[in-house]
Amino acid sequence: MSRLLLPGGSIRHIESLGNVIKDAGGQACKVVVVSRDIARAMIVGNALLEAQNTDPAADGRFRQAYMAGSPDGNGAFVTPGLSFFQGSAVGDVAWAGIALAQLYARTRMQKYLDGALRAATRRARSCSRARGASRRARSLPARAPVLSAH
């Protein structure tokens, strides 16, 4: 990930991937670089972290719905949605955890990995404690695997 300073002083976060094109003799003849602006993805990631970090349960969960408000210092502001959207099922946690893990893979910013690991750990704990769990949940190992960045 790179930071791009624009005229006027604003900063954009970009990801660039490159490839060397070789001629028939194996000599480099071209370099192709593709850059993607990931600033919007970081705003979404910051909103997910805000939602996770301010949840009343304080256990890494995500809710079924959120309402957006005015941006805070990180470019994100969210509050839990209406009272009937307060659930936190497997998919509610999984999609957000996957998104944070992918954002970590792009940016290598530790806060996104920390959020993804909190979501995964919360999900593993709730599955292992479930009463009358489904056959699939009962097939999980008694001890959840250790999750890490490596």
**d(C-alpha 53, C-alpha 72), whole Å:** 14
The band of 134, judged by pLDDT with boundaries at 50, 70 and 90, is low
Residue 40 burial by Cβ neighbours in a 10 Å radius (0-12, 13-18, 19+) = exposed
How does the average pLDDT of the chain come out, rounded? 76
Q: pLDDT tens digit string along 135-150?
A: 544 444 444 444 444 4
Q: pLDDT tens digit string along 48-75?
A: 898 888 887 888 888 877 766 666 665 5
**d(C-alpha 150, C-alpha 123), whole Å:** 20
The SS3 of residue 1 is coil
Angle at 38 (CA atoms; ends 35, 41), nearest 5 degrees = 155
Backbone angles phi, psi at 33, to 5 degrees: -125, 130
